[in-house]
Every structure is written in C-alpha cells, then in structure tokens.
Amino acid sequence: MPRWRPLRVGSKYPARGLRPFLSVPPPLPPRHVTSRHNMAAPAMLLPLVAAGLALCAALLWLRGRPAGPEGARGRVCVAVLGDLGRSPRMQYHALALARHGHGVTLLGFLSTKPHSDILCNEKIHIVSISELKALQVGPKIFQYITKVIAQAIQLFYTMLKIERPSYILLQNPPGLPSIAVTWMICLVRRSKLIIDWHNYGYTIMSLVHGKNHPIVQIAKWYEKLFGRLSDYNFCVTNAMKEDLQMNCNIKAITLYDKPASFFKETPLELQHKLYMKLAKDYAPFKRGTDSIYPEVEKSAFTELDIRNGKVTQVKERPALLISSTSWTEDEDFSILLKALEDYEEYVNDGIKLPSLVCVITGKGPLKKHYNRLIDKMHFKHIQICTPWLEAEDYPVLLGSADLGVCLHKSSSGLDLPMKVVDMFGCCLPVCAVHFQCLHELVKHDENGLIFRDSNELAEQLKMLLLEFPTGENKLYMFRRNLRASKQLRWDESWEQTVLPVFRNNE
C-alpha cells in the first residue's frame, strides 16, 4: 500500500465555414485560472496578510520553537500551491531527493493522482492542502480578499504542522501568497528557502488583466521583493536566469526540464494494449469495421494475431498527431483547428496525405470552450479527441505518436514547454509555435519545425505527412536525429545541477 496519509486543513461548424468563429476566446475571470497558475488573490492584500503572519512568526520565534528531531536533518518539503498530479517537475524533484536519501514531504493539491512512483515511495510523505474556491457572494474584490487570506492561513498552519524540513523547495508560479508564507515559515522553523522559477506569476496575471493593471504591477513588485529573500534559486532557461539577475537581482541556477526515464519510444505490443484501452472510451482508436477474422484483435492503428501474439501496424493507418495542454490563455488552439481545416482541404484536393487522429490531452479552464468548437466540426479525414490520461499512460501515448504539436506561448517569453521535452524524450518530432527563447529547445529543421501561424502549421503538416507512412522524408529525419542525440535525462541533469546545492550545505 502507498504511504499516502493526506492532511487536510479545515472542517460543430462545416470545415470551410469555421474560420470566423475561431478567434481567441475572451479572457476568463481570474477564478477560472488553473491550480498551477492560481493568480486569483490580489497582490495588494499581501502586505496586510504578511504583517499578520510575521507577527505569528515573531511570537513563535520568541517562544524558542524547537528545531525538530535530529532525524529531521536533510528533510525537504517540496511545495506547490497547485495540483501535484499536474506538477511533473516537482514530482521529479521529490523522487530525486528520495533516491539520494532525503526524507520528502510533498505538499500541494490532490485534484489529480500523482505518478505511481510517488505514491509507492516510502521516503515521500504526501500532505494534501485543500484547493480553496472564492466565495460566490459579494463583490469580486471581497471574494479575492477572502481567498488570499484563507490560502495564506491554511498554508501557514499546514507548514507548521509538518515535520521540520531543512529545506523548502517551492514552485513559482503560483507565488501568491506562497512565497511570502513560505519565507516566514523558514524564519520560524530555521529552514532554507529554495525557489524553482518556472515562469513569472505577474505575467500570467497580465493575460487576464493586461500589463498595466494595478494588480499586475503590485504582483510584479511582490514577486521581485519576496523572491530576493530566498536562499537559493533554480530556473528553467538561461534567458530567465539572465532576467532574474538583471531585473530582480536574484542569482539562479539553470535547471533545464529533461525527460524522465519512462519517456521513450513505445514498443508495438504496448501501443496496441493502450489503443485497445482507449478504444473503450474514444471512437478514433476503434477499428473502422468489425474484423472478419475472430483471431485478430484490431485497433485503428494496430492488429494483434491472437494465435501467435504478433502485433503489426494496420496498412494505410491514420497518422497519430498529439498535443497536450493545460487549456489556458497562453495556448491558442484555434491555430491548430484552422490548420486542420486547411489539411482537410489538401486531402479533398487529391494530395496523397493520410487521415489524421488528433489527440489533445490535458485539463484546464478553456477545455469546454474548445470542445464545443470541435464538436461542431465535421471533418471527413480527421478525428479529434480530448482525453485526460493517467500519468502512466501519457508517456506510452507520446511514444506511440507520429508527430507532436505545441501551441504554448510563454507569458514571459522566458520559460520552455515541458510537453516538448517529454516528446523529445520519446524521439517524437515536434511542430512548435514561435516565441522568444524557444530556440533553447527546438532546433528548426533539425529536431522539429517552428511556425508562427496556422498557414505555416498547415504547410508543415502537409510536408511532413506526405506519402505517410512510407518514404524517408523530414519526419523520418527528425526522428533519426532525436535518436542519435542521446539526450540527457532528468536524473542525470538533476545530479549535476541540484544535488551539489544540497550536498554543499549539509
């Protein structure tokens, strides 16, 4: 049984007529932002909250709160004010720390089940905090006030109750109010604060409110101020490292996202097993017609000869296109839908292209919006589905796909999409939308292609899938280059970059 003891605090448009409707959806109110980027609490309230928490911290400090049992030395609290199951980098941190002998407290929301390796690790203790919702009464500012105060109190209390850590490793964003609260906890419990900068929270807020909104400006001030109070910092790109140093006077170490060991090309036998599992719920994975051979088990992509257990790919199978998303404002899926519309026209015009199965995985606030658009699209040669996959199934599907698409546009222009890292780990070529530092990951015309709009993406899909699946075209070349690149994996990168920070401070 997994050592999982949660602690809870408190009691269809026609194809050619689609274009006019595929504009970017209107900004959602802040309460709809996902747990990973929960920017609902207004930064203007943080000084008040911080003052109250600082008073509590001072009182506890004056009482001479004990430093904790001797066995607490080297213990690390890995914390994220978001969904643990959708925070892979923080899960990887926890697993790496546990592998190197540290006891780990993994703290966050449990809206989605974490990876089984986390649940079964005896050195990792999961502490659940409640995902608070804003009150649905009163003006919005009142709702935000109550939410930020409740979050701060809950997080502060929970971090006081856990076994004393030597380090707290905190994901940012979201940093409201977690950076301030965690810094105070480190004062009280004499721990060191490490911030892992994935992006800037205020830039995510600006997608909803605009760059010049007072809340965004205060959030920017808050993030810079409290970010400087950390003991150590990691970030995801060299561009962010330079920005942190130049604009925030924060020294950080670049820890690139790297694929975990389980992201790899999937054998045909495992592909078939996953396709048959998904076929139970998603029509694009089902065989087109019933097989006249009862000894053959068939999916849309593979068939299993039950007599000898041999799995082969179906002749004239569709191409499997995959994208993953958190369905937020920084990913415009109308680009992909318009490109698929053009692709359908190419096939109708007689260009020798395969049918497509487009799988878009993930959860998030804009999923219903895009699902409504997808449901009204009537393609003949394209099928689209939007499943949520178990953590163990996601890398298997990536390793089975023919091409990946990434629509992530960084709100700051300084972070990189982890989905592309995972795709490359599976030797899956990628078409990715352009933004400022994407070149640190995607090498155009070497391991993938970079596009700027739907027209470019449609042309790239046509070029890469022409004569599919035969022929040594660019798609084949990109995959061959990825196989030959011998990419560094997460464990190796972590040991080179993060482990010395802990070892040098024991």
What local confidence, expressed as pLDDT, does residue 135 receive? 62
Structure tokens, 331 = 């990913």
What's the pTM?
0.81
Q: Is 57 left (phi over 0), alpha (psi -120 to 50) or beta?
A: alpha
pLDDT one digit per residue (tens) for the chain, 506 residues: 444 444 443 333 333 343 333 444 444 433 333 333 343 344 445 555 555 555 555 545 544 444 444 344 489 999 999 999 989 999 999 999 999 999 999 999 999 899 999 999 999 999 999 887 766 676 766 776 788 889 999 999 999 999 999 999 999 999 889 999 999 999 999 999 999 999 999 998 888 888 888 888 888 999 999 999 999 999 999 999 999 999 999 999 999 999 999 999 999 999 999 999 999 999 999 986 555 667 889 999 999 998 898 999 998 899 999 999 988 888 999 999 999 999 999 999 999 999 999 999 998 889 999 999 999 999 999 999 999 898 899 999 999 999 999 999 888 989 999 999 999 999 999 999 999 889 999 999 999 999 999 999 999 999 999 989 876 789 999 999 999 987 899 999 999 999 999 988 76
CA torsion angle for 255, 259, 260, 261 (degrees, to 10)?
A: -130
What local confidence, expressed as pLDDT, does residue 54 receive? 59
Radius of gyration, CA atoms only, the chain: 24
Find out whether 112 and 83 touch, Cβ atoms under 8 Å. Answer: yes
Structure tokens, 225 = 């101020």
Tell me the sheet residues that pair with 373.
none
Pick from 88, 429, 425: nearest CA to 262? 425
List CB contacts of 280: < 8 A, sequence separation 6 or more. none
What local confidence, expressed as pLDDT, does residue 471 receive? 66
Find out whether 266 and 495 touch, Cβ atoms under 8 Å. Answer: no
What local confidence, expressed as pLDDT, does residue 170 receive? 98
Find out whether 341 and 16 touch, Cβ atoms under 8 Å. Answer: yes
What local confidence, expressed as pLDDT, does residue 340 receive? 97
Distance separating alpha carbons of residues 215 and 502, to the nearest angstrom: 36
What local confidence, expressed as pLDDT, does residue 33 receive? 34
